């Protein structure tokens, strides 16, 4: 179970005009709690006008660097991202939930793999962490990085990435794509999409020689690239992805039967050995949101069906899970759901967070 602590800000670096990286000061007694794997994230918690917001940010450092650093890119009307970019200072304290996440490669020093890493915008954050761990720990592996942005000045971690290229000349191949700035080579002008992937296949990489692919960025780009790679013959089991922002999570609505309209289900939630029951109108809100209104301290972070922090097991009844970008098929078969995306379908639903 993730833990929550108040941590100080150790350092803040302006990476681009609208992005900062933040180093957390981890006390010695919490080192074990805040150990992480490349590709994971932490969650910041802060109150704005009496409402607690939780925002998850990927770790951009790698474990061998002995620090925990995240990047926060400013989002229009984003309360926390604007606060982090404009107000947060070194020495400030902030509530942090310990590292979590499944977007993590298995790093082994004796491996000789060929990796393809694809990122757009702030999606570079976990990709950079993964990249550094591969380069520093797998001497026989090679990496091809495709990184898309609008303009050169918007490339987050540009200098750090170029320094890695100079250090690992034989192992790392970097290709920047720009969508609003003319590039020397026509193929590197534009967004990373299915068309670009087809062009780059057999030129920059080969479907039959890549061992693992890691993709991170906006939902549309990520899913389009994933689909394109599969069409080119990439093994779906070797394509790993994480979404930054999920529009589908806000668009889908639960399907109600005629007899369920205006009616409610009885929900039973078990957490830390305690069981709480409450009524929930069909289709009104997710089980997670309804349970939070009962003042239950449930684990959650993204509320977008991505991070799996709110995972629980359905012991009784049936739910409809609108979006799932995190759970594996075997987990779903065993009754696990993402409660932020789950709505009751049966008259009674029993959910266990302790399993």
Tens-digit pLDDT profile for residues 138-151: 999 999 999 999 99
**Superfamily in which the 252-352 domain is placed by CATH:** Beta-grasp domain (3.10.20.30)
pLDDT exceeds cutoff 80 at 250: no
Residues contacting 346, CB < 8 A, separation 6+: 265, 317, 318, 319
Strands (E), the chain: 4-16, 19-25, 41-48, 51-58, 68-73, 93-100, 114-120, 142-149, 172-178, 212-217, 239-243, 264-271, 274-281, 311-316, 319-321, 336-338, 342-344, 348-352
User: What does CATH list as the number for 114-243?
Assistant: 3.40.50.80
Residue 251 in this model has a pLDDT that exceeds 70? no
Chain-centre distance for alpha carbon 284: 27
Closest CA to 54 of 80, 73, 36: 80
Q: How far apart are CA 228 and CA 243, in angstroms?
A: 16
Structure-model confidence comparison of residues 96 and 304, the more confident one: 96
* Model pTM score: 0.89
- Residue ranges matching CATH 3.40.50.80 in the chain: 114-243
The predicted pLDDT at position 256 comes to: 87
Work out the average pLDDT over 154-174: 97
Asked if 52 contacts 45 with a C-beta cutoff of 8 angstroms, the reply is yes
CATH H superfamily, domain 4-100: Translation factors (2.40.30.10)
Q: Is residue 16's pLDDT more than 80?
A: yes
For residue 261, pLDDT over 80 is answered with: yes
Query: What pLDDT does 257 receive?
Result: 86
Domain limits, CATH 3.10.20.30, in the chain: 252-352
pLDDT one-digit tens code per residue, 291-302: 999 888 899 988
CB 180 within 8 A of CB 210: no
Q: What is the pLDDT of residues 24-53, one digit of tens each?
A: 999 999 999 999 999 999 999 999 998 899
Q: Summarize pLDDT for 177-196 with one digit per residue, the tens.
A: 999 999 889 999 999 999 99
Of 305, 312, 318, which is closest to residue 355 (Cα–Cα)? 312
Domain with CATH 2.40.30.10 in the chain: 4-100
How many Cα atoms are found within 13 Å in the side-chain-facing hemisphere of 127?
Answer: 32
pLDDT value at residue 355:
87
Q: Hey, is 100 helix, strand or coil?
A: strand
């Amino acid at each position: 179970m993730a833990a929550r602590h108040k941590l100080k800000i150790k350092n803040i670096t302006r990476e681009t005009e609208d992005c900062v990286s933040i180093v957390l000061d981890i006390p010695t007694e919490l080192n074990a709690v805040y150990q992480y794997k490349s590709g994971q994230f932490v969650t910041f918690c802060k109150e704005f006008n009496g409402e607690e917001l939780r925002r998850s940010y990927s770790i951009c450092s790698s474990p061998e660097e002995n620090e925990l650093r995240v990047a926060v890119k400013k989002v229009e009307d984003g309360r926390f991202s604007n606060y982090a970019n404009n107000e947060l200072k070194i020495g400030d304290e902030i509530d942090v939930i310990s590292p979590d996440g499944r977007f993590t490669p298995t790093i082994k020093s004796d491996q000789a793999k060929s990796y393809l890493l694809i990122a757009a915008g702030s999606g570079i954050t976990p990709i950079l962490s993964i990249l550094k761990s591969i380069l520093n720990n797998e001497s026989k592996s090679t990496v091809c990085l495709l990184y898309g942005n609008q303009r050169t000045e918007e490339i987050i971690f540009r200098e750090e990435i170029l320094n890695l290229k100079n250090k690992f000349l034989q192992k790392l191949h970097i290709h920047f794509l720009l969508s609003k700035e003319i590039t020397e080579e026509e193929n590197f002008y534009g967004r990373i999409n299915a068309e670009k992937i087809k062009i780059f296949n057999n030129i920059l990489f080969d479907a039959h020689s890549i061992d693992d692919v890691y993709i991170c960025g906006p939902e549309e780009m990520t899913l389009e690239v994933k689909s394109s790679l599969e069409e080119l013959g990439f093994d779906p089991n070797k394509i790993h992805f994480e979404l930054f922002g999920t529009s589908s999570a806000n668009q889908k609505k639960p399907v109600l039967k005629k007899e369920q309209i205006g009616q409610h289900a009885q929900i039973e939630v078990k957490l830390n050995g305690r069981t709480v029951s409450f009524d929930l109108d069909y289709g009104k809100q997710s089980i997670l949101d309804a349970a939070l209104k009962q003042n239950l301290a449930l684990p959650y972070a993204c509320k977008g069906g991505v991070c799996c922090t709110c995972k629980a097991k359905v012991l009784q009844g049936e739910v409809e899970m609108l979006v799932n970008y995190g759970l594996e098929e075997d987990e779903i078969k065993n009754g696990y759901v993402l409660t932020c995306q789950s709505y009751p379908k049966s008259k009674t639903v029993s959910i266990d967070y302790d399993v």
